[in-house]
Structures are given as C-alpha cells and as structure tokens.
Amino acid sequence: MKLKKQVTVCGAAIFCVAVFSLYLMLDRVQHDPARHQSGGNFPRSQISVLQNRIEQLEQLLEENHEIISHIKDSVLELTAHAEGQPALPHHTSNGSWVLPPESRPSFLSVSPQDCQFALGSKGQSPDLQMLAVYSLLPFDNQDGGVWKQGFDITYEPNEWDAEPLQVFVVPHSHNDPGWIKTFDKYYYDQTQHILNSMVLKMQEDPRRRFIWSEISFFSKWWDNISAQKRAVVRRLVGNGQLEMVTGGWVMPDEANSHYFAMIDQLIEGHQWLEKNIDTDSSTDIFCHMMPFYSYDVPHTCGPDPKICCQFDFKRLPGGRINCPWKVPPRAITEANVAERAQLLLDQYRKKSKLYRSKVLLVPLGDDFRYDKPQEWDAQFLNYQRIFDFLNSQPNLHVQAQFGTLSDYFDALYKKVGIVPGMKPPGFPVLSGDFFSYADREDHYWTGYYTSRPFYKSLDRVLEAHLRGAEILFSLALAHARRAGADGTYPLSDYALLSNARRNLALFQHHDAITGTAKEAVAVDYGVRLLHSLTNLKHIIINAAHYLVLGDKDTYHHDPAAPFLSMDDTRPSQDSLPERTVVKVDVSPRFLVVFNPLEQERLSVVRVLVNSPHVRVLSEEGQPLPAQLSAHWGSDTDTVPDIYQVSVLARLPALGLRVLQLHKSFEGHAALQSSVRLYLPGLNLPMRRQEPVPVHVLPAGAEDVCLENQHLRACFSGRSGLLQSIRRAGEEREQRVSSEFLVYGTRASKDKSGAYLFLPDGEAKPYAPNDLPVVRVTEGPLFSEVASYYQHVQTVVRLYNVPGVEGLSLDVSCLVDIRDQINMELALRFSTDIDSEDTFFTDLNGFQIQPRRYQRKLPLQANFYPMPTMAYIQDRQSRLTLHTAQALGVSSLGSGQLEVILDRRLIQDDNRGLGQGLKDNKRTCNRFRILLERRTAASQAQDGRPISFPSLLSHITSVHLNAEALVMPVAQEKPAPPPLRSFTPLSTTLPCDFHILNLRMLQAEQDESLPSAEAALILHRKGFDCSLEAKNLGFNCTTSQGKLALGSLFQGLEVGSLQPTSLTLMYPLGTASNSTNIHLDPMEIATFRIRLG
C-alpha cells in the first residue's frame, strides 16, 4: 500500500512539472520579441508574426505530447514494479465471474498529427481509380473478332513516318517452382537444361537477349555448375544479354500471400543475387500491361492469335506441339522473309496502338520454354532473319531487336525525354487493383482464394514462427556475442533458418499457396513446410534457453536433449497440431512463454496438464489467475487424465516470461470452469461427476449469452451459433447472426475447380442430418460456446480479460468435408449494419481496398481475397472479420460478410492442372470478430476510395496471427538452473510501429553462418482515428513516426545503422551516428544494423 502511495505521488509530481513547463513555454511565446520587430507594412508583418506564433505553438504542443508520453511511460514502469501481477478473479453473488480492475493504468494517446494521414490530406490524386472504372464498364462480353475479348484495331500506314516504331522482343521461360511436377522434378527434367543451353546459345550472337525471374531454380542450378560457367553467366549479365527480372525467390501469388512473406522471398532472392552475381540493381513503379488473353506466344505479338502462333517457331511442323488455329509456322527464308515480316509487322503495329508511345514490348516465351537447343535455334535464328529484313527497309519505319525489360523501359524513357526512374509525363497514375478477374466468359478465378485452406493456414503458422525465430535468434546471438559466448551458441541454427526462409518463400509461388498444384506437389510443399516448422521451433527453443538462463555461463547446447519442449507437434504434413501435455508434480514445472509481438500483451496462455490439481505461479512465486477446463476429445467425451489450464499472464514485448506449474490440493489452485452440454433428443438432465463438472441437458430453446466487461454475445440455444453482440455501455444489441451455407457447382460442362468458382446459383442453407451438440463453458478467464455439426465444429470464445484479448470474439471452425461431392462450405455473418453495396478487404495484409458489390456481374465475380481482414460499416458501426489464413470473402447483401471455409471439387476446371480438389484435410480456420463504434468524424471519409483499420484492429490482427508460444522446460528432475524472464526492449514501441523482421544477414565467406549485421525492417501502419477508443484496456502511444533505435534494445548497443532499399540492395543516403529515425505512415523501411 505504501508503495502504491509513492507511485501516485511520484506520478503526480512528474505531471505537475510537465504542466508548469508548458505554462512557461506558452508564456515565452506570448512575450516573444518577434512580435515587436517590424513596423512598416502592418498587415503583412502581423500575418507573419501570427504564422510564427502558430508554428511555435504547434511545436510546443508536440513537445508537450512527448512529455506526457514520457510521463505515462514512467508511471507505467513504476506501477509495473509495484503491481506487476494481474489480480485473482472471484465469483459474484449472481454467479458470474469478475476480474478485479487492472492495477496498471491503460491509455490511448494518439497525437492529432498522426490522425491526418487517414483523412487523406496528402498524396497524389490518381488519374484512374479502379473502383470507378468498374462502375463505368458495362461488362457486356461482346465478341471482339480475332481479339475475342477486345475490339478491332485499325491504323493508317503512314502513322510511323515521323517517329519509327521501336520493337523489343523479349525471350523468356516461365518456370513454375512446382505445379504439375514438384520443384525438384521440374529442375531435373527441364530447368537445368534451359539454363545450360542459355549459357551456350547466348554466346553465339551478342544481339541475343534472355530474361530470368525465379532465383529458387537459378540458385539450385548455380550450385551445380563450374566456376568457368559461372564466369560466363556474370559476363552475360554484365553486358546486358541476360537480365534478372524482379529477382525474387519465386513469382509470388498476388492474392493469398502476406506481405511479410512477399518481402522475405524478395530479400532471399536479392541477397542471393548480390552475393553471387553482384549486379547493378534498379526498381521502378512504371508499369506495362499485357493486353491479350495470355502470356504465351500466340497472344503476345498482337491481337490475332492465329497469326502470332505462326511466329512461335517451336511449333514448326514435325515438332511435338502445333497451332490450334490450323495454320503452322514456316521457317524464314530469303524467299518468304518479306511476306512473313510484313504479316508480323501488321500485328506489332496493331498492338502498339493500345499504348501511349511508339516503343513496343513483345514477350517471346511460355512455360518451361527453351529446354532444348533446337528451340533456341528455331526462335533466335528465324526472328533474327525477320529483324534484319525489317531494319533494312527504311520505308517500313520500324526498328526491331531482341531486348530485356531494361532495354524496353530505357528506350521508353529516352523517347519521352526523362531520366529513368522519374515520373514520365503524359502517363496516368492508377489506384486500386484488378481483382477479381475472369479469363473468358464468366469464368472468374475466385476459387483459388480458398482452395486447399489447410496449407494456406500452415503457411501463416510457418510465417509467424519464422518471424519469431528470426528475432529471437538475432537477439540471442547479439547477447551471446556481447558476453563473448558465441563460441558455445549453436551457430548451425542459421543454416536451418536460411532453409526455412527458402521453404516459406517457395510456398509463396502462384501455384503453391493458391492450392492449384497437383496432389503430389501439394504433399511435397507440405513436407517442406512441416520440416521447416519443426526446425524453427528448435531455433526458438535454443534462443529462449540461452536468454532465460540466470547464469549464462551454465549454457550448454545439447541437440540430443533440448532444454525446452515444443508447444505442439504435428505427426505428418497434413495433420493438425497436437499440444504437448505437461506432467505436473509437487516440485515445480517451469514454462517459458514467448511473445513474438513488439507490444506487451496481457494474454490467456493455455497449457495441457495431466492433473486437475494445479496452480500457476510467476517466477517470483506469486499466484496467477488460472482456469481449469476439461480437454475434449469429441463432442460429448473428455480425454481422461488430460486437462487444460488457462493462465492470465503479462508477456513482455518480444520477450520471454517464466511461469511455474505446481501440483496443489489446496488454496490458489486453478478455478474450475462449469460446463453445460446440450444434447439433442435427450429428455432428462444429467450431471456427470468429473474433476470438471458437466451438466448434461436437453437441447435448449433459450438463447445463451456470454459476457465480459467489454462485450455481451448471445447465441441460439438450439444451433449454438452467434446471434448478437452488445458493446458495454450501449443499450442496443447489434444483430450479428452467423450461419453455414453450401454452394454446389453448375450443371453445364464448365464447373468449379481449383482455380474457378462457378456456383450453381445462390448459396443454400447447410442442412446437416442431425441437430448439433452444443457445449457452453463458463469460467473466470474465458467462456465459450461450441457447436458440433456433421461437417464443421465451431467454437466462439470470449476472454474475460482487460485489453485487446477481451475486445473481440475468438472464432474457430474445424471443417471436414471429405465425404462430400462438389461442395463449398461458407460462413455468413448477417447484421443490421447498413453497409449497402460496399465492403472492404485487405491486400496482402498491407492495405485496405474498398469493394463494391456489382449487380451487373455474376455472383462469383464479387468474391475477393482476404489474407488478414474484411469489414463492413455504416455511420454508427464497423464490423471486422479478422482471419489467420487467406480465404475468399464477399458481401452479397447489405450488412453481410461471407467467407468460404473449404471447397471439395471432383473435376478439373480446364486451366492446366488436370485434377479437381479431392485431397481435403481436417482444417481449422481461425478468426476474430471485432465490433467498433464509429464517430461523426469518420463519415467524411466514406465516399473516398481508401480506408484504414483502427489501431485496435491492427493490434487484434497481430494478436490473432502471432500467438504466444508456450515451451515447458523439458527436464523434470533435478530442478533446472535458475531462470529469469527476458525483456529485450527498454522502451515501449509506438503502437503504430511494427517490427516486420530482425533478420541476421549471412556471412561474406560462408552462407551457412551469420554475419555481424542484421536487417531491421520496420513498418509504420496507417490507421483510422475515428473509431471510438474509450476504455480499451491497453496502452498505446504514437510519436509522429519518430523512434530512437539507439536506446530500444535493453543491454545491447546499436553499433551502426544504415538505411537501405527494402531488400538491402543499395544504401539510402550515408550512414550517420544518429540512431533516431522517422517513418511516414504506411512506410516500410529497412536498416542494416549491428547489435552488440
């Protein structure tokens, strides 16, 4: 109590000093001599004085905001030392559980300047907004003639007299790192031959060009070629004949990939290129668009595929493939070159009419092309004869040649007369995206947003583990090096880390995470993902072991006997995780809990134990709030001798918290949950005598409601499904009713498959054979309603804790549709939010894109990818569905949000895969439902084609996607050495900053070892301030994008700090001694950093 008084007095004293300082500052402004300086031109001098005063006041307010922030941090720190443990819950007289008020203050302190970004006062207005374009287009699908989806193109022969047409034909080979064959099979069967021939054939003529993209294949080939061949490759790159384009590990899918993984695969490719090829690099946002049906040769020279196919010389008569238009190519000879060149030039000219310049890009390639020397000869020799003829005829006004992307864009920049990289005049700025698209008729590629959701989920689990392992490994290694103990630390973990980066990168490929590869290939990806997931858990365990040891000198790495056990294991690549059971005893069992977030979190940590008699203590021996629940093996049966204990623990940002489990038959044991089991068709209530009592009741007609200090959620007693949510302090309940729906596929010859969604009309209600078993669990830390249907089990959990965890509903759906034929299972939320035809989905977890339900388009065209969130809103409310895995989403009616959970399809959809989707797994889809109140300020933004989540929404998303990892200390006896919680950050990070990664870079000589430098990648999030944020129960301060990195890491110094390009390819500016940085909203910034 005495300490509490001291804290209050100290906090008040600091506050008084700040207020007095502000008074003195304002007083100084008032008596500023600048007021009395100029006298001549009265109005102008008065205005300038006023401007000066306003600027000074703005600066002083900013300084004051920082002072207040520091005070809050100080008070927070003091109260943390005073009362760090959450208080224990207790029962009230009406039978509900109450958690005592938080001992620590919570606040939301957001500077007004930080709210301006979402209001859109800055930035360039686009010339084209895709949302507006969609509204204008009739989508009438007219037959365009030879260009089926376009129109007839005409031109005047003399159009190029003043300015000749410049044509760059760009040979390429699209190599899928897995699709019909596995990555390795493609490499051995085709890719290595393409690259080997490339080295030989490019040397035959310096005018030849070739571009390559996938570094995953290129690096594998590089490892298998001689030093002499490597030298030739470097020379070809150096003289511009061979060009690496984009240079990522793969060409990632644009719909389902998360921006962490997209950036990571780009870094992996670029770091490999820098180390092995050492090329110049440049990036640009000036875009070229391919106008026709496909990227293959028949659809790239111009609008008529029948003609373009005649210039794909792999299809010469006698080969394995021919032209479907029944007119084969002809080898170019002196006799026919004039006629053939004229025919091709006609297509080039028509294509060029679609562009704003007389510089033309013509790709020449397709999937796995140029895998035989004969094709290199056929394409390059025949095209060179055509180019030589065209270039020798001045009257044709054309210059044609082989080229790379750089050749094309450099020529384009030269034509418009500006330096490469600057914004070219006369070209429009476009905003928005091109989702969702069809390649013909109403064949919309919206199925793959959900296809194979098991692997989409595993991808994100691996991503969260990779980020956690990267950060913890970097911190552990920095601390070990600082202590001179890096000789005992397992540096071999770096090779495992590198392999995990590459396996996650490989899975971002546009036939991997999409769920559109052959079944055997999907298994190959799954095995790689699981292998790396297991390795990452080991890396986290090794780093955590070192960091929690009280005496680092006792650290000993034994690969055969890890110090910590994993939190869960997966027996095979397609199985769900099985959580580790901790055996409790009278002597304490220790747990180490890792929080991968850069913000402190108050979380309910769940552990399976072998006894119902258990209590949980902090490392100092203080009892912690805990709830005991049964562990359910099925809808009605518990697993004998296994129980779940849920602990409320405060976890340090990016840190490790040590907890103790004790077997205990007396006070401070975990508080029991109560369970009501509603069985359909049962008349008599029963009570099962178990350590966790279960009341068995007949199926209920009455609604069931769960409540905490923030929310009240009500469910149908009969279906167990959510019906409504009411926020604390509000009279009105918000209807949020959920239902399961089913889509079939159409009866015509074109049916849904891995890519396409072609439903048989609107969704029908899911009608299982039996009524569900509904189980209601209530307890001090969480309560939940579980519903068991034939094909889906759903659990909606409400955490009874202050802060982020308790402000939204946790939803999980365990789906199993393996006995169905042509069925897609959807979950729809219906509300009374008046959203009309507008909804919002995220792009790659990075930004939000407004969507509009287009009635002129078929149902399937209105689905969009949802990697992390979707929301609907009206003037009063916003309802956000957060997701832990990428799925397809739509809003087909006002107030609705609908997500496709899984799809099982028997047939191929004729897009090259040759299979349906029949390898479904038991899949757990996880969500959070967040209901927020909007304020009047937000309504001004509603018409704009831009939107942002609130800070609470951003933090809810990272809580869902980066769960705390619970690792039991493996040895039971003797007692382990003394352990101490690890708190890596010395200050609280502003809550709009996200540490995207802290990634050790590889050593110069040995790529299997880490160097002394790391890449620190920071993202400052854009957020909407206009969603009401009262009593959020968590601490959040923003800083106008300023961050002092030098003092961020406790016990470590920032030796050097160099801002770089996103993927570390080149420095930005010069390295300075200052470690203070500034980020604009939505900016992602990379720094080369040395910690020690």
pLDDT at 560: 92
Spatial neighbors of 149 by CB under 8 A, at least 6 apart, are 141, 293, 440
The widest CA-to-CA distance across the chain, in whole angstroms, is 103
Q: Are 957 and 460 in contact (CB under 8 A)?
A: no
What pLDDT is stored for residue 102 in this prediction? 59
| β-pair type (923-933, 877-883) | antiparallel
**β-strand pairing of 430-431 with 242-244:** unpaired
The candidate with the shortest Cα–Cα distance to 990, out of 933, 1057, 1042, 921, is 1042
pTM for the model = 0.92
Q: How far is residue 361's CA from residue 415's CA, in Å, rounded to a whole number?
A: 14
CA distance 229 to 347: 38
Query: Alpha-carbon distance 759 to 271, whole Å?
Result: 44
Q: How far apart are CA 629 and CA 670, in angstroms?
A: 9
Question: Can the peptide bond before residue 291 be classed as cis, meaning omega within 30 degrees of 0?
Answer: no
- Structure tokens given for 670: 């975990």
Nearest to 1022 by CA among 1048, 994, 1062: 994
Q: Strand 656-663 vs strand 614-618: parallel, antiparallel, or unpaired?
A: antiparallel
- State residue 258's pLDDT score: 98
pLDDT at 53: 56
How far apart (Å, rounded) are the C-alpha atoms in residues 594 and 591?
10
* Residue whose tokens read 């094709």: 375
Whether the CB-CB separation of 554 and 977 falls below 8 Å is answered with yes
Total Cβ atoms within 10 A of residue 1016 = 23
Q: How far apart are CA 1065 and CA 951, in angstroms?
A: 32
Taking the C-alpha atoms of residue 844 and residue 513, their distance in angstroms, rounded to an integer, is 13
Q: Tokens 């950060």 map to which residue?
A: 471
Length of the chain counted residue by residue? 1092
Going by C-alpha positions, the residue among 594, 612, 582, 502 that lies closest to residue 543 is 594
- What are residue 468's phi and psi, to 5 degrees? -60, -45
Residue 18 CA to its chain's centroid (Å): 41
Tell me the C-alpha distance between 432 and 133, whole Å. 10
Q: What is the pLDDT of residue 120?
A: 72
Structure tokens at 654: 């990016």
**What is the spatial distance between Cα 752 and Cα 761, in angstroms, rounded to a whole number?**
12
Q: 627 - beta bridge partners?
A: 646, 671
Phi-psi category of residue 895: left, alpha or beta, with phi > 0 → left and psi -120 to 50 → alpha: left
Question: What strand order describes the sheet that includes 1084-1091?
Answer: 993-1002, 1010-1020, 1084-1091, 1054-1060
Tokens 């397992």 sit on residue: 490
Do the Cβ atoms of 736 and 929 come closer than 8 Å? yes
Beta bridge pairs of residue 999 = 1015
911: buried, middle or exposed (CB in 10 Å: 19+, 13-18, 0-12)? middle
Residue 939: predicted pLDDT: 61
Q: Label residue 750 exposed, middle or buried (CB < 10 Å: 0-12, 13-18, 19+).
A: middle
Give phi and psi for 773, each to the nearest 5.
Answer: -85, 130
Asked if 513 and 257 touch (Cβ cutoff 8 Å), the reply is: yes
Sequence-distant (6+) residues with CB within 8 A of 316 are: 328, 329, 330, 331, 378
pLDDT lower than 50: segments of the chain: 1-10, 13-44, 60-83
- 1074, 999, 997, 989: which is closest to 478 by C-alpha? 999
d(CA 325, CA 310): 9
Main-chain dihedrals φ then ψ at residue 560, nearest 5 degrees: -75, -25
What is the gyration radius of the CA atoms in the chain, in angstroms? 32
Instruction: List beta partners, residue 1091.
Output: 1054
What are the E-state strand segments in 938-1082? Answer: 965-968, 993-1002, 1010-1020, 1036-1037, 1042-1044, 1054-1060, 1076-1078
Nearest to 838 by CA among 878, 872, 787: 872
pLDDT at res. 35: 33
Tell how strand 1076-1078 and strand 1042-1044 pair up.
antiparallel
Cβ–Cβ under 8 Å, residues 496 and 539: yes
